[in-house]
Amino acid sequence: MPRGPRITFENAFFHIFDRGIAKQKIFLEDSDYEKFLKRLAELKNKNHFDHTIFSYVLMPNHFHLLIQTKKTPIAKIMTSLLTSYSMYFNKKYKRVGTLFQNRFKSKLCDKDSYFLGASRYIHLNPVEAGLTNYPKDYIWSSYQELFGESKYNILDRLEVTRLIGETIEGKKRYHQFLLDGIKDLIDLKRSYDFDKDIEGAPRFNTLSQKKYLRRKSKEQHKTI
């Protein structure tokens, strides 16, 4: 069954997910992960788009992003990212055809209530998959920007700090919150699937639908 149109508008906050076609790997070497992250960083440059990234993880056959758009639609951002990476991957490995499975999945979320749990789920993805015992030992996630050493500057640190706490103690509590999730990985995974397009309280869902309809109405009037 085909998916419906994305619910999107300015300043929308999304959980993005995509994986390789037939669950095949999309990263085969360290240089592939590096290429994807470099492109992710490039797209945040002022000469490209105006979005904000709050959390990310790259896994061998999929990735997750928490991202907030401004004026540039999410589809334009992701198309640019995935198309450029697919071209790089196909050329490097002498393959043809689609790299990613279908269109990317996006879930519209209430940022203030969704971020903490979802960022924990994202940072613990490598632990849940059995790739490492602790998130600090996995280098292809935003954990390194927050608590380790990273050559990338992908996150909006001011926005993330506002959500996790602006003090040293607040950052420590958030870190412990991440680690506490290791005890309940199965329940954590179930809580952040993509079985619905909007995640939030009923009021958030209603307001999101209204914003989306207003945007569509404006676009239709521009074409008349």
Q: Each residue of 62-111: pLDDT tens digit?
A: 999 999 999 899 999 999 999 999 999 999 999 999 999 888 999 999 99
Per-residue pLDDT tens over the stretch 165-206:
888 898 999 999 999 999 888 777 777 777 777 776 555 545
Give the pLDDT confidence score for residue 9 in this predicted structure.
76
> Which residues are CB-contacts of 128 (< 8 A; sequence separation ≥ 6)?
185, 188, 189
Give the pLDDT confidence score for residue 149 in this predicted structure.
83
- The domains of the chain, with CATH numbers, are 13-193 (3.30.70.1290)
- The DSSP symbol for 153 reads -
Average pLDDT over residues 49-58: 94
Task: Evaluate whether 151 touches 53 at the Cβ level (below 8 Å).
Answer: no
Give the pLDDT confidence score for residue 220 in this predicted structure.
47
> Which residues are CB-contacts of 105 (< 8 A; sequence separation ≥ 6)?
16, 17, 18, 194
Give alpha helix (H) positions in 43-110: 74-92
Q: What is the dihedral of CA 186, 101, 63, 4, to 10 degrees?
A: -80
CA 110 vs CA 158, 159, 198, 200, 201: distances in Å: 18, 15, 8, 5, 8
Q: For the chain, give percent helix, strand, coil, nearest 5.
A: 50, 15, 35
Average pLDDT over residues 15-33: 96
CA distance 11 to 4: 21
Q: Tell me the pTM.
A: 0.86
Using only the alpha carbons of the chain, give its radius of gyration.
18
Instruction: Please report, as a single letter, which amino acid is at residue 96.
Output: V
